[in-house]
Amino acid sequence: MASPASPAPAAVTARGWGWRYATRLKWAARGIDLDIAPGERVLLLGGSGSGKSTLLHALAGVLGGDEEGEHAGDLRLDGAAPHSVRGRAGLVQQDPDAQAVLARVGDDVAFGCENLGVPREEIWPRVREALDLVGLGVPLDRPTNALSGGQKQRLALAGALAMTPGLLLLDEPTANLDPEGARSVRDAVGRVLDRTGATLVVVEHRIDVWLPLIDRIIVLGSGADASSGGSAVIADGTPNEVLGTRGAELAARGVWVPGIPPRHPAPPVAAPGETLLTARGLEVARVKGTPVAGPVDEVVRAGEVLGIIGPNGAGKSTLGRTLAGLLPPAAGAIDASESLSAGAGPAPIRWTSRQLLTRIGTVLQSPDHQLLASSVRRELEVGPRALKLPEGEIAARVDELLERLRLAHLAEANPHTLSGGEKRRLTVAAMLATRPRVVVLDEPTFGQDARTWAELVDIIASLRDGRGDDPRSAVVAITHDADVLAALHARVLALPGATA
């Protein structure tokens, strides 16, 4: 009987494979040719929207039937159509919060097995073994929402493992984690592969963490590479071959190549200007009565980026939302300057959502929590419409942002169907549409390819420095990404780890 430790590793073949979602004219993936042998450990790279997630979903057998899209060419798992061998591939995705489906750890890990119809008496030994293998020694009845991001990702990995997959598919599994959480997940994957010998395909932009574990790199190009009849696979080989000999070329296409950092914007044009927000003895709480961070005494100034760093659980996002006027301070106060409040009173938490729009803009960590409208264009119109701007002005702002954030070709698409990088660009654009003077960005660059990273950093720098008629803004950036703070010459506020 198969146990989590002994699946046979799976083989993958693709011949001219492609997929077009029914709602789109352009192919999401096209012209993919691949042979992955059992037990190989592959890192799959490619720019935002190049079809990496689409390929992984197809291999996991979860891409819909004919009514949901059109496929081209051939894709096989052990010689069979992937959807006919569901369970042979186990998929772990990016967002830790979106993946824990059930309330308790044990039930969550058992969920996939139950769906596959694994006999009851076999499920629980598998669940315990999988949890043990990923190093998650918590009781089976522990609530899933009490786990850290790194623990949630290891929980998702355990859920995939309990189904004894021969192919492990990891779609940016550490993009939302702090460095320690990322290493804990990487180490868990390493233990799993050493024990099971499963084939691995992992997608991740920041590749340093994964290099010790993988033996091959495959790079997907853009639609343009495949549309002329060429292959969408633009590089394929050992890490040394791919990064060593073609590193500069791939970096130019937006791949993060270790040792080749993306270009940085120019430093600030002038010393920081006016203080727009002042925090005095500020303590913050996610739920009333239990402060998670503070007291903080700090100023937020026009023409400056204030970086907030600290380990997972230190209260960074809570502090960000409190500074943004979305959560009431647990203690102390936040005062807005006269020029920022412009008659709305000193305490941002008392401002209406419409008053906030032009004063403080927020981009939340998880884009999915912020997408409201049925198309990209309408998403960008939400703020300007709430401000009752004239139609001509709304159209001008939206068109400019569609161009600037490379979203014009997606104007009519449903925001929830965008790739991870496209969603991040959209939430930033939607925030910019009302031209707030203070912007609070929670992990603005995480999980981005190097090209989008450089574009987002440029946009933040232009907010900081002002542009055209727009005055300099104050930027608060919460991030695990030390590069982004260096690139923006940020002043850094480090929150200590949680003491509780």
- Site residues (vs ligand ADP, CB under 6 A): 21, 23-24, 28, 46, 48-54, 417-422
CB 163 within 8 A of CB 21: no
Closest approach of Cβ 46 to Mg ion, in Å?
Answer: 9
Closest approach of Cβ 358 to ligand ADP, in Å?
Answer: 30
Instruction: With contacts defined by CB under 5 A, name the span among 173-181, 315-323, 390-398, 413-421 that binds Mg ion.
Output: 413-421
Q: Which does 51 bind (CB under 5 to 8 A by kind): ligand ADP, Mg ion, none?
A: ligand ADP
Dihedral angle sign, alpha carbons of residues 184, 188, 191, 193 = negative
Question: Cβ of 317: how many Cβ atoms within 10 Å?
Answer: 22
Q: Which does 196 bind (CB under 5 to 8 A by kind): Mg ion, ligand ADP, none?
A: none
Pairing of strands 199-203, 167-171: parallel
Dihedral angle sign, alpha carbons of residues 338, 339, 343, 347 = negative
Which of 337/419 has CB closer to Mg ion? Answer: 419
Question: Which residue in the shown chain puts its C-beta closest to Mg ion?
Answer: 53
Give the one residue of 53, 99, 144, 362 binding Mg ion; rule: CB under 5 A: 53
Closest approach of Cβ 244 to ligand ADP, in Å?
Answer: 24
Token output for 97: 């919060």
Closest approach of Cβ 424 to ligand ADP, in Å?
Answer: 11
Closest approach of Cβ 53 to Mg ion, in Å?
Answer: 3
Which of 99/419 has CB closer to Mg ion? Answer: 419
Cis peptide before 268 (omega within 30 of 0): no
Please name the residue that has the structure tokens 């096989």.
76
CB 218 within 8 A of CB 43: yes
Q: Which does 362 bind (CB under 5 to 8 A by kind): Mg ion, ligand ADP, none?
A: none
User: Residue 387 — φ and ψ, nearest 5°?
Assistant: -80, -5
Q: Which does 46 bind (CB under 5 to 8 A by kind): ligand ADP, Mg ion, none?
A: ligand ADP
Listing DSSP states for 238-292 in one string gives -HIIIIIIHHHHHHHTT--BTTBPPPPPPPPSSS---EEEEEEEEEEESSTT-EE
Site size toward Mg ion, by CB under 5 A: 3
The CA angle 50-54-56, to the nearest 5 degrees, is 115
Q: Which does 49 bind (CB under 5 to 8 A by kind): ligand ADP, Mg ion, none?
A: ligand ADP
Q: Which does 54 bind (CB under 5 to 8 A by kind): ligand ADP, Mg ion, none?
A: ligand ADP
Dihedral angle sign, alpha carbons of residues 285, 290, 293, 296 = positive
Q: Which does 417 bind (CB under 5 to 8 A by kind): ligand ADP, Mg ion, none?
A: ligand ADP
Which of 419/473 has CB closer to Mg ion? Answer: 419
Which of 53/473 has CB closer to Mg ion? Answer: 53
The CA angle 491-492-493, to the nearest 5 degrees, is 130
Q: Which does 406 bind (CB under 5 to 8 A by kind): ligand ADP, Mg ion, none?
A: none
- Dist. CA 243–CA 256, nearest whole Å: 10
Which of 164/419 has CB closer to Mg ion? Answer: 419
- Dist. CA 320–CA 494, nearest whole Å: 13
Closest approach of Cβ 204 to ligand ADP, in Å?
Answer: 11
Closest approach of Cβ 171 to Mg ion, in Å?
Answer: 6
Which of 167/309 has CB closer to ligand ADP? Answer: 167
Which of 89/478 has CB closer to ligand ADP? Answer: 89
Please name the residue that has the structure tokens 């290099």.
211
Instruction: With contacts defined by CB under 5 A, name the span among 46-54, 235-243, 293-301, 485-493 that binds Mg ion.
Output: 46-54
SS3 186: helix
Closest approach of Cβ 28 to ligand ADP, in Å?
Answer: 3
Closest approach of Cβ 142 to Mg ion, in Å?
Answer: 29
- Dist. CA 346–CA 210, nearest whole Å: 48
Question: Cβ of 86: how many Cβ atoms within 10 Å?
Answer: 15
Which of 12/44 has CB closer to Mg ion? Answer: 44
Token output for 321: 């939302």
What residues make contact with Mg ion under the rule CB under 5 A? 53, 419-420
